Amino acid sequence: MSGTGLPRLWHANGASLRAGVLCLQMQASWRWLRIGFWICTAIAVAVVLRRMVALAHPPQSAPPQLALLDAGFASHGTLTLVHIIPALVFVVLAPFVYLRRFARAVWPERSLFLLGTVVGVTAYGMSRYSVGGWVERSAVLFFNSLFLFSLFRAWRLRHEPVLKLRWMTRAIAILLGIATTRPVMGVFFATSSVTHLSPPQFFGIAFWIGFSINTLIVELWLRSREGKSQIERMAMRPLSL
């Protein structure tokens, strides 16, 4: 091989190596995002089912703090159900947006637009009964408005697959933020004997932390090279979650 051929070969091998590393990084980031997505989905479904059971059959031996929360939701049970049932269906249908076999189906997105609107509007009503007062209410108003805006943008851009999917992904991530608040609340409950904080004191903080985690992680991913590439691939040829 000639001397001029070796540098070209090294350059080509280096480019191939960098491309391979980038591909592995993209796969890793997408894998972790999928894991987080399914964990949040499972938590959200469990939370809604638990609330529905508690409303129908109030537990008789719940811890005092949990019993107080159950009583609070029971005081506006109808509004709670009108909010959480569409939210449950939204969470269950959200994966269909990304599944290959439903690539040409329009009903998943149309359903999410309708369900998301109901969830968003009723969330404003639910904010009147915020356990964490104005701290929680401010989180709900901010992230719920961001959720509805993202959903509206996805609908406006429904004829532009890549942009539509980007905004729909933002909306889904924000809604699933309610699931991320649960582990955060669990930490506050577990440390309440040390911090002496009650639900009215830490619920608002937990809401801000939980929703911020989901929103920031997905936004950073969407703006990354890996996220942009993945969204384009999914928009043109949906992948299986």
Number of domains in the chain: 1
Say if 73 falls within a structural domain. Answer: yes
Say if 7 falls within a structural domain. Answer: no
| Cα 44 from Cα 91, distance rounded (Å) | 7
Say if 141 falls within a structural domain. Answer: yes
Q: How confident is the model at residue 224 (pLDDT cuts 50, 70, 90)?
A: very high
pLDDT (0 to 100) of residue 235: 82
pLDDT (0 to 100) of residue 15: 44
In 3D space, the residue among 151, 140, 152, 149 whose CA is nearest the CA of residue 210 turns out to be 140
Say if 201 falls within a structural domain. Answer: yes
pTM above 0.75, yes or no: yes
Say if 32 falls within a structural domain. Answer: no
Q: How confident is the model at residue 220 (pLDDT cuts 50, 70, 90)?
A: very high
Say if 180 falls within a structural domain. Answer: yes
Q: Where do we find the tokens 């996805």?
A: 154
CB 207 within 8 A of CB 181: yes
pLDDT (0 to 100) of residue 105: 77
**Dihedral over alpha carbons 119, 103, 212, 117 (to 10 degrees):** -20
DSSP code of 58? Answer: -
Say if 45 falls within a structural domain. Answer: yes
Say if 144 falls within a structural domain. Answer: yes
Torsion angles phi and psi, residue 157, rounded to 5: -100, 25
Q: Which domain holds residue 72?
A: 37-236
pLDDT (0 to 100) of residue 239: 54
Q: If you average pLDDT over residues 96-121, what whole number do you get?
A: 88
Residue 142's CB is within 10 A of a number of other CB atoms, namely 15
Tens-place pLDDT, residues 63-85:
777 777 878 888 888 999 999 99
pLDDT (0 to 100) of residue 1: 53
